[in-house]
Amino acid sequence: MKFKPGTLVELAVNFLLPWLIYRWAQPHYGETGALYASAIPPIAWSVIEFIRLRRVDVLSLFVLAGIVLSIVAMMLGGDSRALLIRESFVSGAFGVAFLLSLALRRPLIFYLARATIARQSGDGIARFEAAWAERPALRRSLRLMTAAWGAGLTLEMALRVWLAWHLSVERALVVSPFVSYAIYGALMLWTLWYRRRLRANSQAA
């Protein structure tokens, strides 16, 4: 997978624009209104991609799912400790979804990888499907990555819940971000290392 201009545009539409819109809208319309506004770019991108290519954009669906989960968590309300837990609700939900997908024929990482490759090559989906069918090592590696991210995101939620209920609110506010950044950083570094290892093994083979 290589980053091309189209990939960078997609990342900007699905991640950067929603964040910028949220930051702009939050002081004017509150958190819920800002979340609704932040959903506009990925929704528009999904519609354009469907009209242009007749397929649903997986990355946009993941972003929209995160926004929907955030709105649901916000509507549940609660005291200050519940609000602390709410921040990790989305990542925890995705972590559980990743782990549950291991019981399926194809895990969630498969669909994210296929969607990325499809944007970079016209026959990307066909080649990736063929590689999945013919290479057991690819199937094992994608399942391992799904398990790692699922376990990591679920662990992040579990630790933040524990901190919220066992520390003071002030202390939990200070400690929780460090826990999240440490877990996300470890997952990213492991993913980069694992991709290099897979690439080296593929070239050797």
Query: CA neighbours within 13 Å on the CB side: how many for 123?
Result: 3
Among 12-16, 71-75, 111-115, 176-180, the minimum mean pLDDT is found in 71-75
Q: What is the pLDDT of residue 98?
A: 92
pLDDT digit string, tens, across residues 149-169: 999 999 998 998 888 888 886
Other Cβ atoms less than 10 A from the Cβ of 135: the count is: 13
pLDDT digit string, tens, across residues 15-24: 788 888 888 8
Q: What is the pLDDT of residue 107?
A: 92
Spatial contact of 31 and 74, defined as CB atoms under 8 Å apart:
yes
Question: What is the average pLDDT across 4-18?
Answer: 70
C-alpha separations of 195 from 8, 18, 62, 122 in Å:
20, 28, 22, 23
